[in-house]
Structure 1
Amino acid sequence: MNEDVLSINQNNMATEGKSSTLLSGQPCTVPDYPDVSGLSSAHTSRASLHHHDERPRPVFEIIEPPAQLSAITTHTTHIREPGIDDTFPDGGTRSWLVVAGCFFVLMATYGMMNSTGVLQSYFATHQLSNYSTSAVGWIPGLFTFFGLVLSLQIGPMFDRYGPTGILIAGTVCYVAGLLLLAECKLYWHFVLTLGVLTGTGAALLSTAALAAVPHWFDRKVGMAMGTAMAGGGLGGVTFPLVLRAAFTSFGYQWAIRLLALMVAVMCGLGIALVRSRLPKGRSRSTINLNAFKDTRFTWLTLGTFSLELEVFAGLGLYPTYVVMQGYSTSTSVILLSTLNVFSTLGRLVAGGIADKYGRINTQTGLICLGVIAIFAIWLPFGNTLPGLYMYSSVFGLASGSFLSLAPACIGQISKASEVGGRFGICYSIVSFATLICIPVGGEMLEKVGKQAMVAYLGSVLVVALGMFLMARWACLSYRWRWQAKI
């Protein structure tokens, strides 16, 4: 009897030793870690005694180790918190109204970011015709930079106070900036209005809208984020066509005023519909650089940096590239709109696929498609109109996920009350990519030629692919499993 008790105590001590090793975050041996089903071998053995007719497991499964392993965990769904945090509606009228409000806000903000190529092309041939392509490129670059860098401060504000006040302040800045843009004539006028003031408004609006959606969705967050981000694609289709027609019919000033009116209506709908699920003051998120101790977050941030370095450079320079190939400005606008049409479709489709097979899995697959589009279509056939239309369609379809799934990937490895703060940290770093991407690409376009610029953009996308593969590997504690849903 005493020998049995001693044996049990020794087993308990061994188990405690394993638990302390796991909670300390030290490297674990494979037997100590859960298998792909998220169940220990002992638990599986016990379950098999009672469930001889267990159904076959799906091909893709979520790996679920202890939640304390923040730096090396393979846990790929939202980390639960006590109380209200651990209940995600994942649907219903209120949840989808938040998605609709985010859709309109991102149509106004990200839609404009997707349309900066049209504005840059117009400025370069009219008010700022005496400046180089790279010099003019700093203006939309600053707009996108401020639209992202300020999220470092706005994210914690959202976590603490909710979205409504932030959205109202953002709408005021954004609309005022566009109205002042209509009066601009000198270079520094454009820098202050479009670059700084309008960019600040875009940061307030987009950060609050994006951070609200993961409060309402867990299993369907990919579809919800894809639907919301489709607003940015639709704005990228609508704004170039409206500006093209308005510049011809009404002139520059009234075209920009019409744009300001459209933005005001979209932002008003966002203010009315976007709500936070957590009570005000419940969250106490601050700017916490300890987030980078989570290696999954670090790799995702680096991957998103590389993605947006390529995407915004491509969107900003694509119309200029088309014109340099000898085609008309109207053709360049149509090609950009075509790219954004397929980008919108890609965002809608990618969300559902991501929820089924994994968000990082889907993201890496579509990045591969984007790399193929650049090196197999744009690079060899970019001087032909059929080649440009084919590239716009294929790359648009792939790039639809680049911006929509990146926040979903970050949201799934973060506590609900920390989502805004982590978005802020990530996109404040990513903003430096958007600041330099158009000027650097414009300089390459002028100095080393069109082909070299295209090859450069493709290479950046290859780097982004590597970063997302590393993020997936980190989610698996650096032990690769092809069939894991990540």
Structure 2
Amino acid sequence: MAASEPNRHQSFSSPASDDDRPSQIEQYSEKAPSQQEGTSAPDFGPPPDGGFQAWLVVTGGFFAVFASFGWINCIGIFQDYYEQNQLKSYSSSDVAWISSIESFMLFFWGPVVGYMTDNYGPRIPILIGSFLHVFGLMMTSLSKKYYQIILSQSICSALGCSFLFYAPIAAAGTWFKRHRAIAFGIITAGSSLGGVVLPIMVNKLVVQVGFGWAMRSVAFLFLGLLVIANVTIKSRLPPPRRKFDIKDFITPFKEMPFLLLTVAGFMLYLGSFLPFNFIIVQAKELGVSDSLAQYLVSIVNAASTFGRLVPAYFGDRIGVFNVMIPLTLLGGIFTLTVWLTAHSTASVIAYAALYGFASGCTLSIVPAMVASFSDVRSIGTRSGALYGVSAIGVLIGSPVAGAIVSAENGSFSRLIIFCGVTILAGAVFAILSRQALTGGQWIKKV
């Protein structure tokens, strides 16, 4: 068995022969981490790919991601509010760090949360995340000063969101294989629905009951949803409780497909969030009314709901790489054509819908792409490692984009070009990752 097994890092050397290529993808997921170290691990059989408990995990994951990533998807609405209220003495750049740090915290802790989920199960991370997220929002409702908002909203709440995002995905990965992409798609669709509902909800509540009770109302809503998540989400496999080993985080980057996919993720997250952050400001510059501009983020998120589910459905059938790459290319093309040339309300709305659908698969498909060549017991660690690197792109993307706008005296053209080019670059590295995984084959389900 050992003599005929393909080399784990074969993609660094010469491509496999045609006879060997069908097994080249499986070589990255055949062994559990404990088996790679020379010890035996019990066989719990293949994932059931369905059943009441499996879909219950997906349902709980949907609620957890609605409350976590769905909240992150709507944080752009606070930029304008803070500038006019608590933080009116601060510059727009200073206020922008609130959302940048919040997004960064969501992704940066991925390796830690993923490793914890793989080794101790999802229950502890989800419980920790529920407390931090709800507590952070409650403290935000009382915050008046800049540092208080940073600590409560950008750090405490966002750290909780990180725990609530990675743990359900890792848990669901143990229940599904053939239908893993659609399961991940349903879970991450919670972020899109949250991005549609929560901005409207917060805007209405701030007017009716004030900022403090608006935040507390959201916190109570999340508390109810997260109770369901804590009860329903569990792993099919008992946690191995392996000793901490830094090699668990480093080893994936020695695999060429994973390394290239990580670079793709960095480039994508460097540019993919810029439309969410700047489309409202840019639309107002074009003369779009304030009342309509506030709904543009909701339009992007509404379209991305379909962009998460439809590609995920086809990803299970024709391959997750084969679905993600064309849609990512379309996202970059739409940015460089429709958004760059938009000069009317109709064209901005059209871009919001088109980009929302094209970019929707990025969040839902990438975990499935990692899982497609990973052992089921290490999905959390490997996905977290990828997103941990992507977090750097999330952190610097908005400040870089803001600096570009300032240098152009308020013109958004070069920002849009920067956004489109980074998305296309991400697609190119995803193509390279696919080719490394398949040994250069273009027509293959992967």
TM norm structure 1: 0.84
Change (3 A) 1:250 1:156: same
1:368 paired residue among 295, 311, 329? 329
The equivalent residue for 1:451 is 413
Letter in 2 for 1:34: D
Letter in 2 for 1:211: A
Measured in 2, the distance between the counterparts of 1:136 and 1:88 equals: 46
1:180 paired residue among 139, 148, 162? 139
The equivalent residue for 2:90 is 131
Measured in 2, the distance between the counterparts of 1:20 and 1:372 equals: 42
Write the deviation string for residues 365-411 of structure 1: whole angstroms up to 9, x where unpaired: 10111112111211001x31000110011111111101110111011
Instruction: Note if contact 2:134-2:223 (Cα within 8 Å) is conserved in structure 1.
Output: yes
Matches for 1:70-149 after TM superposition, within 5 Å: 70=28, 78-79=29-30, 83-84=42-43, 86-149=45-108
Unaligned 5+ runs, structure 1? 1-15, 39-62, 71-77
The equivalent residue for 2:443 is 483
Aligned residue pairs, count: 433
2:416 is aligned with 1:431: no
The equivalent residue for 1:171 is 130
2:288 is aligned with 1:318: no
Write the deviation string for residues 308-329 of structure 1: whole angstroms up to 9, x where unpaired: 2222222122222223333333
The equivalent residue for 1:239 is 198
Measured in 2, the distance between the counterparts of 1:22 and 1:457 equals: 38
Measured in 1, the distance between the counterparts of 2:9 and 2:130 equals: 46
Change (3 A) 1:243 1:424: same
The equivalent residue for 2:425 is 463
Letter in 2 for 1:341: A
Measured in 2, the distance between the counterparts of 1:440 and 1:93 equals: 46
Measured in 1, the distance between the counterparts of 2:158 and 2:15 equals: 49
Instruction: Note if contact 2:283-2:345 (Cα within 8 Å) is conserved in structure 1.
Output: no
Measured in 2, the distance between the counterparts of 1:265 and 1:275 equals: 18
2:19 is aligned with 1:34: yes
Letter in 1 for 2:19: P
2:258 is aligned with 1:297: yes
The equivalent residue for 1:55 is none
Letter in 2 for 1:240: P
Instruction: Note if contact 1:285-1:417 (Cα within 8 Å) is conserved in structure 2.
Output: no
Instruction: Note if contact 1:118-1:319 (Cα within 8 Å) is conserved in structure 2.
Output: no
Unaligned 5+ runs, structure 2? 33-40
What secondary structure does 2:204 align onto? Answer: helix
The structure with the largest alpha-carbon Rg is 1
2:366 is aligned with 1:415: no
Measured in 2, the distance between the counterparts of 1:410 and 1:283 equals: 21
Measured in 2, the distance between the counterparts of 1:238 and 1:357 equals: 32
What secondary structure does 2:338 align onto? Answer: helix
TM norm structure 2: 0.91
Shift of 1:80: 5.7
Letter in 2 for 1:98: V
Measured in 2, the distance between the counterparts of 1:329 and 1:176 equals: 32
Measured in 2, the distance between the counterparts of 1:188 and 1:20 equals: 55
Instruction: Note if contact 1:313-1:434 (Cα within 8 Å) is conserved in structure 2.
Output: no
The equivalent residue for 1:215 is 174
Shift of 1:452: 1.3
Measured in 1, the distance between the counterparts of 2:9 and 2:161 equals: 41
Letter in 2 for 1:172: F
Matches for 1:39-78 after TM superposition, within 5 Å: 63-65=22-24, 67-68=26-27, 70=28, 78=29
Measured in 2, the distance between the counterparts of 1:454 and 1:387 equals: 14
Shift of 1:88: 0.8
Instruction: Note if contact 1:117-1:318 (Cα within 8 Å) is conserved in structure 2.
Output: no
Letter in 2 for 1:452: R
Change (3 A) 1:23 1:216: closer
2:307 is aligned with 1:346: yes
